[in-house]
Amino acid sequence: MSITVEDYTSKVLGVVKEKYGLNDKGDAVDKMADLFGEEFVEREVSEETIKELIEDSEKHIKKYGFKGTTVKQLRKEIEG
C-alpha cells in the first residue's frame, strides 16, 4: 500500500521508526495505531484470551465456590 503524507507526518513517522527500532515507516504507522488506536476503536479480544478467562474463572469457582453478594452486603463493604 502506498500513501502520501505531509512533511511533518513523515518526520514524526521517522522519529517513531528510530525510537522503536522499526524497519520502515509502515511499521511506524502500525506502532502508532497500536499506541493510540484504542482511543478510536476497541481491540477485539482473541478467542484464546476468552477461553483462558473462562478456565481461570471455573478453577476459582471450583476452589472457592461461588458466593453471591447482596446489594446490602456490597453497600456495607463499600461504605464501611
Amino acid at 50: I
Q: What is the pLDDT of residue 4?
A: 93
**pLDDT for res 67:** 81
Q: Where are the beta strands (DSSP E) in 1-80?
A: none
The predicted-structure confidence for 2-16, as pLDDT tens digits, reads as follows 889 999 999 999 999
Q: What is the pLDDT of residues 43-73, one digit of tens each?
A: 888 899 999 999 999 999 999 888 888 899 8
User: According to DSSP H, which parts of 3-70 are helical?
Assistant: 7-19, 25-36, 47-64
- Residue 32's identity, in one-letter code, is M
CA gap 75, 25 in Å, rounded: 52
Q: Tell me, what's the pLDDT at 64?
A: 87
Total residues found in the chain within this entry: 80
